[in-house]
Amino acid sequence: MTEKSSLAVALDLVAAPNQAFAAIKERPSVWLPLLVLVVSYATVSFVYMTSVDLAWFFDQQLQQSQDLTEDQRAQAVRATTSISPLAYGAIGAVTGPIGLLIVLFIGALYYTAVSFFSHDGIRLKQWFAFNCWCCLPIVLGILATLVNIVVGDARFMAQDEINPLSFGNLLAMDTADMDPVQRGLLSVDVTTIWAIVLSVLGYQLWTKRSTVATVAVVLGPLVLIVAVAVLLT
């Protein structure tokens, strides 16, 4: 098989996913998708935290705590807003990508554990590349978010409102009175669905498992997370 460039693999994810996943499995390079994901996450985190009204932002966050009185919340808001927005932007630009890397690596460990018990011979490095490439479409949602922050008035824009491609925004639903699980589900956007579909397709191509088994492996952790969140709400 002729070795493809990372750019060619990225284009094949849209035009010819089968060829893209074959190339990723043979040469599990992660630098292009990882660089794009990290830079885009860092950028949108920095821009949002330096654009939002910090007093309003932290007050919204602290309102979710039932243990604080109104005076305690006001005091906490004053303390947090004494720090420069640039500092919060820098923190977000670092912690956002780190969180992303942790999620991608945990996902790769999960797939590797499944491979160990199913004896399909796919290694951790391949699964990590698999996750990075499958998440690449999410960059389109991040770019849409960045444009929305820059063009719109982000001062009083909640985190679950900044992505114009999320189902909550596309359906024009008011999530203010919803519980965290409902708000979290409505914050999912169409590019995330695209990434999940790619994961299902790629996993089946790599492992040759049935559609039912593939969907169970790929979506199992997501269903478990939602179920636990519902139980804890």
Give the residue from 39, 35, 32, 28 showing the smallest Cα distance to 6: 32
Question: What is the C-alpha separation between 155 and 56, in angstroms, rounded?
Answer: 8
Q: What angle do CA 53, 191, 34 make, to 5 degrees?
A: 85
pLDDT for position 176? 67
Cα 94 to its chain centre, rounded Å, is: 15
pLDDT for position 66? 64
Angle of helix 6-15 relative to helix 31-49, nearest 10 degrees, comes to 80
pLDDT for position 201? 97
pLDDT for position 233? 66
Helix (H/G/I), strand (E/B), else coil: 166: strand
Which stretches of the chain drop beneath a pLDDT of 70? Answer: 1-3, 65-66, 176, 233
The token pair at 70 is 């109104």
Please report the DSSP string for 168-216 in residue order. Answer: HHHTT---TTS-HHHHHHHT-BHHHHHHHHHHHHHHHHHH---HHHHHH
The token pair at 44 is 């949108």
Domain boundaries, given as residue ranges, for the chain? 6-232
Q: What is the pLDDT of residues 141-163, one digit of tens each?
A: 999 999 999 998 888 888 888 99
